[in-house]
Amino acid sequence: MTNKPPYNILFICTHNRCRSIIAEAITNTILPEKFTAYSAGSNPDGNGVHPKTIEHLKAQGYDTDSLRSKDMLEFTQPDAPVMDFIITVCDQSRGEACPVWPGQPVTAHWGMADPSTITDETEQQRAFSQVQHQFVNRIRLLDSLPIEKLDKLALTKQVKDIAEQTTIIADTE
């Protein structure tokens, strides 16, 4: 990859209400010098960010002021930032048609369960925490990659493999 940090990274989920928003907030908080994170939905439902997502992020000390639900087509406009990485975070968005992204970004899928679908409040809080921890682990692994030294094919494989590495870690806890 020829670009230098900060790298632009877009997290995509179907509705952009929960997981992609969490990934955006975490990335912009823990690695602002290396990544500028954005999130978007392939089919936002117009309901905005899930209230429990904001509540959870605020409770963990993340800045939520700039978080909003967006359509991924916003990032195909001429004045949009060019993405270095596009990561889908829900299985539904993984199989959906995506636009042709300017700059040919590295793409990967880091799927995980949607905590907003859980109705039991205690279980939902536990699920939000699990999603948060998985993203922190995955983003730290992404940070550890020698991005400037890898060609696009090797970098794509490494970024895709991150989901497998952290799934194994999460399953053993």
Catalytic machinery residues: 13, 90, 98
Which amino acid, one-letter code, is at 42? S
Determine the Cα–Cα distance for residues 59 and 57; give it in Å rounded to an integer: 5
CA 47 to mean position of chain CA atoms:
19
CA 135 to mean position of chain CA atoms:
8
Residues 6 or more apart from 87 whose CB is under 8 A from it? 9, 10, 11, 12, 23, 107, 108, 109, 110, 159
Beta bridge partners of 8: 36
Q: How many residues does the chain have?
A: 173
How does DSSP assign 48-81, residue by residue?
A: -S-HHHHHHHHHTT---TT----BGGGGGSTTSP
Q: What is the 8-class DSSP label of residue 10?
A: E
